[in-house]
A and B are shown apart, each in its own frame.
Chain A
């Protein structure tokens, strides 16, 4: 112990303390702070990168699931639309058929009516013509027959007879 104390050099202690403390502060300012900062930053950026990769993975999975869901929904929608379209087509066809039937019926009815009226008109005309023709013939026959007096008288008598008969 005594030897240790004797060995102890104040000068060495003094210089060492000064140099060492200065060294601590110098290194702190110029080395340790930037070094630790850089290491810290790097670690943080690695951690962030891993985290964001993880996040991206999860997002990808979510996206995939979403895609599947959307696809499924789209399929259902498509089927529904197809079904609806079919129904609508059927309805349109049915309606068209109905309308067409009605129309046809109406046209037929109208045609029938027209035919009927035309027929009647034609018959009426034919009748008229027949009457006129008959009258003309009768006239001509009468004219021929009634060229002499005697015949005339005979005829008038016949007529009178006929009239009476008919009435």
Chain B
């Protein structure tokens, strides 16, 4: 038994190393031996990183340039859903990676800088005076790479935790299988995050949210470390959506005390109350705003640093510099594994803290 465990452990370790190697390898692959000019190479790397950080209409696993100097993509297209006087659904393969203009019932669409614009039949992009495209942008509800990863993660989480839940009834109240690994984390979130911050009395109604958000962010962060160029939690729309949920739950479950503390701080002079009120009101919005920015910036920065270090290998292009930056990238990868967990933890514990504020009950009127 112990032997197999060791085997599995070493296998996992090799897998882990392998994944990092592939990350390094695949992300770097299409940059190999391409440009003579260093400046051009640097610009391309910058573009590549910027492109990787953005959402995409394709699920590309990697891309390369073939002998005829054509860029080839390995992956699959995703459905495009546009709202432009009616729903328009078509495959993103029609865009041919931004090269083609798509004609849907007489409407022409083109991808320009990773955004879909409505154009004329030749795909002309007009610019305003700030050099921004002035073309009409239809409402874009496409199932992008980000959305599909979210769906995959959701399915993964559902299957995983459903199996954990089922294992209890099958195994006389003891967890079994893969879910067993997550049980201590569930207990940790309950005992170390929810109960201390929210309180024994009210924590139960927030547990579902806290558990879901923790594992969701963690899993997405971890997926971001795989070499498939997934960057979901480093996207402002995602962190905004997560933060706004915390904001809504905080303010909709808040008790009288919470609002009293915002608009009419008990126990301070009246003049102070008037001064404090706008600050506190601002605080209500700043709290989720920082949540949003923290997760976004951390994941974004992590990806930039990691990819830059990987790219350094090809800028140095010699044994010493490249191996050095390889080990740096390797080291940062390990740190990023930790950051993935840490950011999920911070988001969860701060959400719990805000829920705690919303449920605080003091006898201020007497004590102050």
Given the contacts A27-B208, A28-B208, A36 and B186 also touching, CB distance less than 8 Å? yes
B164 touches A35 (CB 8 A): yes
- Min CB distance, A34 to chain B, in Å? 4
Confirm or deny: B146 has a beta carbon within 8 angstroms of a beta carbon on chain A: yes
B241 touches A20 (CB 8 A): yes
Of A14, A34, A39, which contacts B187 at CB under 8 A? A39
B245 touches A20 (CB 8 A): yes
CA distance A45 to B172 in the complex (A): 12
CA distance A95 to B334 in the complex (A): 106
- Min CB distance, B233 to chain A, in Å? 10
Most chain A CB atoms below 10 A, which of B141, B169, B216, B241: B241
B216 touches A23 (CB 8 A): yes
CA distance A103 to B247 in the complex (A): 115
| List of B residues within 8 angstroms of A32 by Cβ | 161, 186, 207-208, 211-212
| List of A residues within 8 angstroms of B54 by Cβ | 7
Confirm or deny: B9 has a beta carbon within 8 angstroms of a beta carbon on chain A: no
User: Which chain B residue has the least Cβ–Cβ distance from A43?
Assistant: B187
A9 touches B164 (CB 8 A): no
Confirm or deny: A16 has a beta carbon within 8 angstroms of a beta carbon on chain B: yes
Confirm or deny: A26 has a beta carbon within 8 angstroms of a beta carbon on chain B: yes
Q: Per-residue 0/1 for B157-201: is the Cβ within 8 Å of any A Cβ (1 yes, 0 no)?
A: 110011011101100011100000001001100100000000000
User: Which chain A residue has the least Cβ–Cβ distance from B187?
Assistant: A39
User: Which chain A residue has the least Cβ–Cβ distance from B240?
Assistant: A13
Secondary structure at the B interface, as helix, strand, loop or mixed, is: helix
- Min CB distance, A76 to chain B, in Å? 52
- Min CB distance, A30 to chain B, in Å? 5
Confirm or deny: B151 has a beta carbon within 8 angstroms of a beta carbon on chain A: yes
CA distance A39 to B194 in the complex (A): 15
Q: Per-residue 0/1 for B133-154: is the Cβ within 8 Å of any A Cβ (1 yes, 0 no)?
A: 0000001111110110011001
Of B55, B157, B211, B212, which contacts A12 at CB under 8 A? B55
CA distance A8 to B55 in the complex (A): 10
Given the contacts A11-B142, A36-B207, A27 and B173 also touching, CB distance less than 8 Å? no
Of A22, A39, A45, which contacts B183 at CB under 8 A? A39
CA distance A39 to B241 in the complex (A): 30
> Interface residues of B, CB < 8 Å — how many?
45
> Interface residues of A, CB < 8 Å — how many?
34
Of B143, B158, B174, B186, which contacts A15 at CB under 8 A? B143
User: Which chain B residue has the least Cβ–Cβ distance from A35?
Assistant: B165
Confirm or deny: A165 has a beta carbon within 8 angstroms of a beta carbon on chain B: no
| List of B residues within 8 angstroms of A34 by Cβ | 165-166, 168-169
User: Which chain B residue has the least Cβ–Cβ distance from A27?
Assistant: B212
Most chain B CB atoms below 10 A, which of A7, A23, A39: A23
Confirm or deny: B357 has a beta carbon within 8 angstroms of a beta carbon on chain A: no
- Min CB distance, B299 to chain A, in Å? 14
A24 touches B144 (CB 8 A): no
Confirm or deny: A141 has a beta carbon within 8 angstroms of a beta carbon on chain B: no
A42 touches B173 (CB 8 A): yes
Confirm or deny: A130 has a beta carbon within 8 angstroms of a beta carbon on chain B: no
- Min CB distance, A27 to chain B, in Å? 5
Confirm or deny: A19 has a beta carbon within 8 angstroms of a beta carbon on chain B: yes
Of B139, B175, B216, which contacts A10 at CB under 8 A? B139
Confirm or deny: B237 has a beta carbon within 8 angstroms of a beta carbon on chain A: yes
Confirm or deny: A38 has a beta carbon within 8 angstroms of a beta carbon on chain B: yes
| List of B residues within 8 angstroms of A42 by Cβ | 173-174
Confirm or deny: A41 has a beta carbon within 8 angstroms of a beta carbon on chain B: yes
Confirm or deny: B236 has a beta carbon within 8 angstroms of a beta carbon on chain A: yes
Confirm or deny: B209 has a beta carbon within 8 angstroms of a beta carbon on chain A: yes
Given the contacts A24-B209, A27-B161, A38 and B173 also touching, CB distance less than 8 Å? yes
Of B142, B151, B211, which contacts A27 at CB under 8 A? B211
Confirm or deny: A31 has a beta carbon within 8 angstroms of a beta carbon on chain B: yes
B contacts, CB < 8 Å to A: 54-55, 81, 139-144, 146-147, 150-151, 154, 157-158, 161-162, 164-166, 168-169, 173-175, 183, 186-187, 190, 207-209, 211-212, 216, 235-238, 240-242, 244-245
3 nearest interchain CB pairs?
A31-B161, A38-B168, A28-B208
A-B contact pairs, 23 of them (CB 8 A): A7-B54, A7-B236, A8-B236, A9-B144, A9-B237, A10-B139, A10-B237, A17-B244, A19-B150, A19-B154, A20-B150, A20-B212, A23-B212, A24-B208, A27-B212, A30-B158, A31-B158, A32-B207, A34-B165, A35-B168, A38-B168, A38-B173, A39-B190
